[in-house]
């Protein structure tokens, strides 16, 4: 089988390999770069568990070939926290109970980071629309939406807090 030399920058580090054309990018990331935070949850390009940032855009890495990534700049969930500090979106998921099993979480986070980059103050509808290519089968979307709202607040320089109002958790800006 013909193999193709590729060189891909993942989270700032160059990864090289000789890959057959049919190797999917998600498998290169997981099995050759050994970054197993990116998940693979379906065969039909439906779930978004495999979402990565590919040259500045979130895409489903199960539907790209590894050879297509030659020369690309990729960010995976492992590259999101900086200097031991959680990214505000990660912090939001942690604070708002945005995950249970965590299978969808890396994809949700990569998609949400991109969403907030383009729309720093999204409405609830815009958040639901933005993450509509990512499926969560256990947490449900309410807490995920709150996690993104938390992150938006934090990224805008405000200090969010999670409070319980009428038996519902709500994200709001902390009083000074």
Partner 1 sequence: MIPASFEYVAAATLGEAFGLLKKHPDAKILAGGHSLIPMMKFRVAQPALLIDINKVPDLAYIKEDAKWLKIGALTRESEFENSALIRDKYHLLADAAKMIADPLVRNMATVGGNLAHADPANDHPAVMLAYDAVVVVSGAKGTREVPITKFFTGPFTPDIAHDEILTEIRIPLRKAGDGGCYLKIERKVGDYATAAVGVFVRLGAKGVCEYAGIGLTNLGLMPIKATAACKVLMGGPLSDAKIREAAQLASEAAEPTSDWRGTEEYKRALVKTLTVRALKQAALRAAA
Ligand X SMILES: Cc1cc2nc3c(=O)[nH]c(=O)nc-3n(C[C@H](O)[C@H](O)[C@H](O)COP(=O)(O)OP(=O)(O)OC[C@H]3O[C@@H](n4cnc5c(N)ncnc54)[C@H](O)[C@@H]3O)c2cc1C
Using CB under 6 A, list all residues that contact ligand FES.
Answer: 40-42, 45-50, 60, 62, 99-105, 136-139
Rounded to 5°, the CA angle 99-100-105 comes to 40
Given 3, 7, 13, 45, the residue binding ligand X (CB under 6 A): 45
The residue (of 102 and 133) whose beta carbon lies closer to ligand X is 133
Per the listing, tokens 């933005």 go with 130
Instruction: Decide if residue 132 touches ligand X (CB under 6 A).
Output: no
Q: Are 58 and 19 in contact (CB under 8 A)?
A: no
13 is an interface residue for partner 1 by CB under 8 A: no
Taking CB under 8 A as the rule, does residue 94 contact partner 1? Answer: no
Contact 13, 60 (CB under 8 A): no
Separation in Å, CA 11 to CA 20, 61, 119: 23, 15, 23
Coil, helix or strand at residue 86? coil
Closest separation in Å from C-beta 54 to partner 1: 8
Residues of this chain that bind partner 1 (CB under 8 A): 1-2, 4, 20-22, 24, 43-46, 48, 51, 57-60, 63-65, 67-68, 70, 111, 129-130, 132-134
């Amino acid at each position: 089988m013909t193999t193709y030399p590729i060189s891909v920058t993942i989270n700032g580090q160059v990864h090289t390999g000789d890959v057959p054309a049919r190797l999917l990018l998600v498998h290169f990331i997981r099995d050759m770069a050994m970054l197993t935070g990116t998940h693979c949850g379906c065969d039909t390009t439906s779930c978004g568990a495999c979402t990565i940032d590919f040259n500045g855009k979130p895409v489903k890495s199960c539907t790209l070939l590894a050879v297509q990534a030659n020369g690309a700049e990729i960010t995976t969930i492992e590259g999101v926290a900086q200097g031991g500090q959680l990214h505000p979106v990660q912090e939001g998921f942690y604070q708002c109970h945005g995950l249970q099993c965590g299978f969808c979480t890396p994809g949700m986070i990569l998609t949400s980071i991109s969403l907030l980059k383009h729309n720093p103050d999204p409405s609830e509808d815009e958040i639901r629309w933005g993450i509509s290519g990512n499926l969560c089968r256990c947490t449900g979307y309410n807490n995920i939406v709150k996690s993104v709202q938390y992150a938006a607040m934090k990224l805008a320089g405000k200090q969010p807090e999670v409070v319980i109002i009428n038996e519902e958790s709500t994200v709001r800006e902390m009083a000074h």
